[in-house]
Amino acid sequence: MIKRLCRLCCELCCELCCGLCFSLLLVSPVLAANIDGKQLVNDARKQIGVTLFYDSGYQRLAYPMGDIAQYKGVCTDVVIRALRHQNQDLQQLVHEDMKKAWNKYPKIWGLKSTDRNIDHRRVPNLEAFFNRHAKVRSLTKIEDFLAGDIVTWRLPNNAPHIGIVSDKKSRSGVPLIIHNIGFGTQEEDVLLKYNMIGHYRY
């Protein structure tokens, strides 16, 4: 009788633990991602002809998986939207990571707490996140830029920018970039055009 009760207790505990773990997997995004680079490129490329405008205005978003209208966005939205096809919601990931490690993120905007409407749409915040949770790659070896890698730059006016490395290359062999620099999502030869700051494989 005692053995039977012990066995029933063990089975019940196992079921509860498994159920809890399964629930956590459903609601919690995984930080240690293993992104399919080619899929990321394809999902980013699907935004070409859909996202036609650049709009940096502040907007309230649903949470998680919040987004503005697909026909507009900023450079970070290209990355955010593409990663969501692989169950990686940067809105939630960045928000939760900032709450855990506030001192690891830049204080450029004078905020004293997180803002899940905008934090994930700011390039410096994504740089901090990817520095913490992605593989940091070379900035100088062209052969190390693989499809699906994420790159950040500073433009001539020192504005931060971000894009995704394409699986296509220019005539000179430099990988193209899928990004939105002001005219909607496009695929262009801009990898070496600006001051490169970060190169990540997520």
pLDDT tens digits for range 108-158: 999 999 999 999 999 999 999 999 999 999 999 999 999 999 999 999 999
Q: Is 95 in the same domain as 188?
A: yes
What are the angstrom distances between the C-alpha of 47 and each of 73, 109, 147, 186, 191? Answer: 11, 29, 16, 8, 19
**Residue 181 is part of which domain span?**
37-201
Q: Is 16 in the same domain as 66?
A: no
Domain tally for the chain?
2
- Indicate the pLDDT class of residue 14, thresholds 50, 70 and 90: very low
How far is the C-alpha of 178 from the C-alpha of 76, rounded, in Å? 11
Whether 64 and 123 have beta carbons less than 8 Å apart is answered as no
Q: Is 25 in the same domain as 47?
A: no
Average pLDDT over residues 32-48: 94
Q: Of 127, 119, 93, which Cα lies nearest the Cα of 199? A: 127
Residue 13 CB-half CA count within 13 A: 6
- Indicate the pLDDT class of residue 31, thresholds 50, 70 and 90: low
Q: Is 93 in the same domain as 145?
A: yes
How confident is the model over 167-200, as pLDDT tens digits? 999 999 999 999 999 999 999 999 999 999 999 9
